[in-house]
Every structure is written in structure tokens, then in C-alpha cells.
Structure 1
């Protein structure tokens, strides 16, 4: 049955078919892509001095100084865009077939830069005592840049279909998106840093004194821990419903097998937040609980749950309509809990973090764990169950952990490179990560409603992708220059 002629999105069915029934690429290609992106950012760091030292002048009253600060800021931002984002776009599109060659060349350039610092004039430079924090900021920004590029690029024919999300089993590059967001949040969460939530402690004390929170009307009784959890996740819930209403209102294309009929990314994050708040366990036990959840969930999958989740049949109830979204929560929650303990162990469980020795030890630990997780992923994929983002099974969780730790491990090599530890573009994105994601989603929707992406030529598609990413970067850079941070909670 054809789409209605008056719809906002006349090619909705074609666009849905374009991202359906895909099987992904190889783990080797995923590992190579994972290598390229952080190396591009590290090489940008080693190209000259480009930190926005003049940006602080924007707060001064002198208009001339302020204009110079703005010019210097935008010049640095433009150079960052040309050396980081444009190459990423090219790697994902017209240069995708030469990806292994580019990965090899970039690795050689990285090794040359390390050697230049060790044996050249850079060898006497002092180390940055906050490199761990800045390294993690680069990692989070890299995740956001990749996400922003891919969510629009996937709608064009120049984006390889093997990079798009898989239908059932397989390792598509875009499959890693939601899992990477979960890991990025867990590694630096309050639990990973051993920071107790004050509101949670207050709720526990009040529960001891007063028991249950009672509504004046009705007979329902709600634990205060539930109330606190829902309040903390309410922004994500609101964003989830806003996305649902907006996509439904404009008849936007929806791949039902991704999360379900009504479910989306924000609801998954909200569910993780609620479960973590309600079941608040000590950090040292979070990895154990997460592993038990993942193994238990995998056992259920292998005893028939996977057949139910992969079936195209859906009932009329809310759970059946959104079965992928509901049941994958167990996988993502287990992933989050494991990430909490890994973050505590790798990044926050040593006292002399300002010393070069401890930074090197952190780098070694991340590299070892990344390699072990890659090995574990291959074993599980071959002998237990293949990787499936749709179900968020055990192999998918270990793959996401391996990829993210590999990215982090490469960024930790910044201690061995000359130049700055960050860039103007990274600082701007890092201060407005959620704002960047929402802006990118809005612009992606507008492009899809205004342009027939399926029929765009390679040149037109590249122009649109560059204009889209430049617009996102410029707006976020402007907000950062003006000192505006988009915080929702």
C-alpha cells in the first residue's frame, strides 16, 4: 500500500526498506574504524597550538579585544572542523572502500608523532596533570561526532549499507551508538566516582523514619526511592515522548525492529536511570551484579526469548508492541553496571592521578582490558550466540565494551604526543553534549523532510553532510563562545 500523497514524508516506506534487512560488516572492519576516529583527533592535537586562550576576552567590555577573540575562536573552530569532522565524513562515505589503507597510514603517522616527541624537541615538554579527564572528554566528544555524522549519512546511498544497523545478528557500525552512550555515561557516573547521591541518602533516611510515601487521595503507596528515581529520569522521559510525538506527527520513517513501535533511545536511558537509582548497590559490587544480569539474560535468550524478540509478530499490548525496547533494558542495564565498575577501576581507583606513572598505568590497564574483551567477543560470537544489537545480548555488550575501551586506550596515548590535549571544537561539544545531540536530531529530521536523500548524488550528499555538520558545529561553537550551556537537569 503506497504512502499517502499529502504526507510530509512521501518516501517513508522506501527509506524504511533502505535501512532494513542488513547484516553489518566484519569485526576487523569495526576495529579499524574504531582506530581511525581517535587518531584523527589526536593528530589534530599535535598540529600547532590551538587552544582558545583568547576566548576569555569575550567577557571583557572592550569590543575590539572581543572581536579579536571571536575571530581567533572561529579560526580555530574552522581548522578543527576541516581536520577532524570533514575527514570523518569522507571515511564513512567516499573513502570507505580504502578504509584499511587509511587506518594503516594514520597509525604510521601516530607512531611518527610519538617518536618525534620522544626523540625530538618535544621531549622536554611537561605532562598535563589533568590528561585523564581531558582524554575522557575527547572520547565522549568523538562518540558524539560519530553519532551526529552517521544519523544523517545513513539516509544517503554513499553511506555503505554494511555500516548501518543490522536487522537481527551482525556487527554494524551504527549498532554501537546507543551502547556507546550507555558506556560513556557509566564510566564517569557518580557511582564510578564513588560519589553518593545526596537525594538517595535522604530518601533512605526518610524511608527508615516514615516508611512509605502515601498520597492523600487514593490507596496507592509509592516508595520514595521510586519517586526520586522517576524525578531524576523525568527529563529523559519527556524527551522520549517528545521524539515519539514529533516523529509520529510528521510521519517520519521508523524501523520498528530497532526498538519497537513506540520505544526509542531516550526511554532506554530513562529505564537504566530508574533501575540504577532504585537498586543502588556499592560500586565494588556493580560489576558482579551486572555480569549476573547479563549471563541470566543470555540464558533466557537461548531458551526461547530470542525467538520471541526476533519474530515479526506483535500483539496489541504495549510490551509486545515494544518487545525489543523492553527486554533489551536488561542487557543495557547490565552493560551500565559493568561500565560503572570498569570506570572506577580504570579511571578513579588510584590516588596519584596527577603523576605520569599512574597515567601510564591507566593506559596499560585500558589496553589490556580492551584486547581481552575483543577476544571474549569473538569467543561468545562463535560459540554462544552471535552479536545482536536488537536483543542487546552478551556478545553485543562485550563488543561495545571492547570498542569503547579501544577508543579510550588510543586517546590515552595523548601523553606520548606533542601539542595540546584538546581542541576548541572538542571543548565546545563537551560543554553541550546533550544540546549537540538534540540539535543534530532536529537538523537530521529537517533534511529528511526537505531532501529526497535516497536519490541524492554523491556530490550533493557530501555537500549536505558537510553543511549539516558545519551548521551543528557553528551553532554549538557560538553557544560555547557566549558561555551558554544547555542543561536540562
Structure 2
């Protein structure tokens, strides 16, 4: 006889089986998928800047003022970015997932073409580099947050590949990275990373024994214990410490002044560190211990860092394109990352309560995902227009 829980929700067992015994995907596919998604954002901003270059400086200033005061401009910009960025991302995560390698090659060729076509005689000044670094940091944080928002609903539909969902114990799915990415995106620009915290962490940042050593030590010794006695708290705390040190080294100047470095400084080091973390991940995963989100072992930490730095590294290529402008959707979400994430969870719950997500057709699932992303985007645009910013601290 079925238990009361199963009688109340007959699809509960099917949904549990749908997300069970998953082993993830390959490191190569994850690398190419993240590269493709990052380049989609890059290309949208490049295309947007190429249109704005046809305007005179005076006209550009007038349009900027109109955009700030006109709700219709906000909604139109959000709609256009959904079509140019969000919709292609959803396609890459669903019906085009089997063409990940082809997508990555095509996007790489397009980015290379745009850079070479518009690179001639362009140089970045010191002042522009500082603004560009701040813009790239915001774009990276928004990209990772929005990708997570899409995945938390997409995973409930059959159109979302099972190899991208969370794994049981060992393996790497795209959603496994989302847990650690939330910590990384916040730690890299935290008060501790900027060196302005009123705690002992500021002294640790400037000491000869950096936080990165302490962080990796906590991860190594914690992940050596069986995860069934391990709450993951120490492992993720270690990840936070590592990212605080990396953020201070890559993005900020002397401890206490919270001044951003130039983009040239950050770009070169981010690419180098990203490649080193990818090499370390492959070595650990093949010869030491497979990646495990539940254990938050060293291989998991290195792959999370590698993928997050990879997104930022791709966005730094914008320095090679004159007149690069950040997409409007990035500006809208940047003001309300927390609010957008909370709204995404509420909408996900509403969708799951209102329908059997396992029985809908691929077309309906795709329409629901696009509509869900569009609602998030419009909400962010409206909040940006009225100056609303949701924070709890």
C-alpha cells in the first residue's frame, strides 16, 4: 500500500528517480559549454556597441537620458537582451546540448572575427581599464547568477540533459558547479577581498601566510574524511577563504584602499590562473580523487574556480574591442542579484506546483523556460527603473 506522501503526490517517486543515480558529464564538455555561454554575452555587447558607434556623442548623451527616464526603453532593452542572450543560452542548455562542440567552435570563430575586424588602432587607457574591470566583474557575477536561475527550473524538465544535473556523490554536472559558484562570485568582491573588513581577515590578507594556504589546507584535510560525517561546512569555508585571497590579488590594490587594479593586470593573471586550475583539476580527477560536490573535495574546489575564472577571462576579451558596452540586462540584474535569485526560486516552486514537469512536451518546456526568464528580466528592469535594491545587510 502506498504511503500517505506517495498518495498525496503520485509523481514524487518519479521525480526522485529522475534526479537519482546521475554521474555528470566530461570536463571537456563543461569547458566548452561555459565558453559558449560566456561568448554569447560577449557577442551581444559587441553588437550593441557597434550600433551605438553610429550615433554622435551628442545624440548618444540624449539617448542615455531618455533611456534612464523612459520605462518603455527599459522594457524594450530587456526584451531584446532576452532574445539575443537568454534565449540562445536556454537553447544551448536544452535542445542544442548535443551540439556543444559545434556550438563552441562556431562561437569561437565569431568572437575571433569581431576582435580582428575591430581591433585596428585601438588601445585602452589607464582610466578605461579601471572602468572595464569593474564592468567585467559585474557581468561575470550576473552571468553566473542568471545561469543558476535558469538551471534550477530547467532541471525539472526532460528537455534538460541529465548529465548537466547534480550528481549523486562523484562526477561533475553543470548544476554541481552552481553551489560553489555562488560562494565564489560573492567572495571575490567581498569586504574581506577589498581589505576593508573590520576583522582579523584584513591582517591575514596582508600577512606573509595568505588565506589561500589556509583555505586549501581546510579543504584537503576536511575532504579526507568520509562525507557521511562531513557537513561540507569546512570545505566551503575553505573555498571562501581561497576566493577572498584570489579576489584581493586579482582585482584590488593595497589592503584597505579597495582600489581596483587595471584590467591589463587582471586579464593576464586570470587567464594564467584559470588554465592552472583546469590542469590541476584534470590531474586530481584522474589520479587522486574524482570531483565530488557532496564532499567538497580539492578537485571540486579547483573545477569551480577554473570555470568561474574562465567566464571572467572570456569577458576580459572585451578590451580588444573598441566601444564595448555592457548589455542592458547586466545593468538591471547587477542591482538586484539577491532579489532576482529569490524571485527565481519562487517562480520555480510555482511552476512545479502547477504542473507535472516530467510529462510536458519539449516545445512546452522550452516556452515555459523562456517565459520564466522573461519574467525575471522584466522584473529586474522595473526594479532598476524605480531604483529598487533588495539587500539584507
Structure 2 distance, partners of 1:449, 1:183, is: 31
CA-based RMSD:
2.4
Decide whether the 8 Å contact of 1:165 with 1:175 is kept in 2: yes
- In 2 relative to 1, CA 391–352 (structure 1 residues): closer, same or farther, beyond 3 Å? closer
Decide whether the 8 Å contact of 2:40 with 2:85 is kept in 1: yes
After TM superposition, list the pairs within 5 Å mapping 1:442-481 onto structure 2.
Answer: 442-481=346-385
Structure 2 distance, partners of 1:334, 1:352, is: 23
Aligned residue number for residue 13 of structure 2: 13
| Pairs aligned (count) | 376
- In 2 relative to 1, CA 58–117 (structure 1 residues): closer, same or farther, beyond 3 Å? closer
Structure 2 distance, partners of 1:334, 1:430, is: 26
Aligned residue number for residue 35 of structure 1: 35
Decide whether the 8 Å contact of 1:35 with 1:410 is kept in 2: yes
After TM superposition, list the pairs within 5 Å mapping 1:36-55 onto structure 2.
Answer: 36-49=36-49
Aligned residue number for residue 291 of structure 1: 216
Structure 1 distance, partners of 2:152, 2:97, is: 17
Decide whether the 8 Å contact of 1:32 with 1:100 is kept in 2: yes
Decide whether the 8 Å contact of 1:48 with 1:419 is kept in 2: no
Decide whether the 8 Å contact of 1:139 with 1:411 is kept in 2: yes
Structure 1 distance, partners of 2:289, 2:258, is: 41
Structure 2 distance, partners of 1:173, 1:477, is: 27
Structure 2 distance, partners of 1:385, 1:280, is: 33
- In 2 relative to 1, CA 461–183 (structure 1 residues): closer, same or farther, beyond 3 Å? same
TM-score, normalisation: structure 1: 0.72
After TM superposition, list the pairs within 5 Å mapping 1:68-79 onto structure 2.
Answer: 69-79=70-80
Aligned residue number for residue 340 of structure 1: 244
> What stretches of structure 1 of length at least 5 have no aligned partner?
60-65, 202-278, 310-322
Rg: which structure is higher? 1
- CA offset at residue 349 of structure 1? 3.3
Aligned residue number for residue 158 of structure 1: 159
Structure 2 distance, partners of 1:476, 1:352, is: 28
Deviations 1:324-366 (A, max 9, x none): xx621111111110111111111113799888xx422321110
Query: Which of 282, 300, 311 is matched with 2:204 structurally?
Result: 282
| Partner SS, residue 95 of structure 2 | coil
- In 2 relative to 1, CA 3–44 (structure 1 residues): closer, same or farther, beyond 3 Å? farther
Structure 2 distance, partners of 1:291, 1:80, is: 39
- CA offset at residue 6 of structure 1? 6.8
Decide whether the 8 Å contact of 1:45 with 1:419 is kept in 2: no
Structure 1 distance, partners of 2:130, 2:347, is: 38
Deviations 1:236-286 (A, max 9, x none): xxxxxxxxxxxxxxxxxxxxxxxxxxxxxxxxxxxxxxxxxxx77611421
Decide whether the 8 Å contact of 2:142 with 2:330 is kept in 1: yes
| Partner SS, residue 47 of structure 1 | helix
- CA offset at residue 3 of structure 1? 5.6
TM-score, normalisation: structure 2: 0.89
Does 1:100 find its partner at 2:98?
no
Does 1:406 find its partner at 2:331?
no
Aligned residue number for residue 117 of structure 1: 118
- In 2 relative to 1, CA 124–441 (structure 1 residues): closer, same or farther, beyond 3 Å? same
Decide whether the 8 Å contact of 1:58 with 1:482 is kept in 2: no
| Partner SS, residue 241 of structure 2 | helix
- CA offset at residue 97 of structure 1? 0.5
After TM superposition, list the pairs within 5 Å mapping 1:52-67 onto structure 2.
Answer: 66=69
Deviations 1:136-191 (A, max 9, x none): 10000000111111000000001000000000101111100110011111111111
After TM superposition, list the pairs within 5 Å mapping 1:226-241 onto structure 2.
Answer: none
Structure 1 distance, partners of 2:156, 2:245, is: 37
- CA offset at residue 455 of structure 1? 0.4
| Partner SS, residue 191 of structure 2 | coil
Decide whether the 8 Å contact of 2:19 with 2:165 is kept in 1: yes
- In 2 relative to 1, CA 280–6 (structure 1 residues): closer, same or farther, beyond 3 Å? farther
Does 1:136 find its partner at 2:137?
yes
Does 1:390 find its partner at 2:315?
no
- CA offset at residue 74 of structure 1? 1.7
Structure 2 distance, partners of 1:400, 1:406, is: 10
Decide whether the 8 Å contact of 2:253 with 2:260 is kept in 1: no
Structure 2 distance, partners of 1:124, 1:338, is: 33
Structure 2 distance, partners of 1:468, 1:2, is: 33
- CA offset at residue 372 of structure 1? 0.6
Decide whether the 8 Å contact of 1:386 with 1:395 is kept in 2: yes
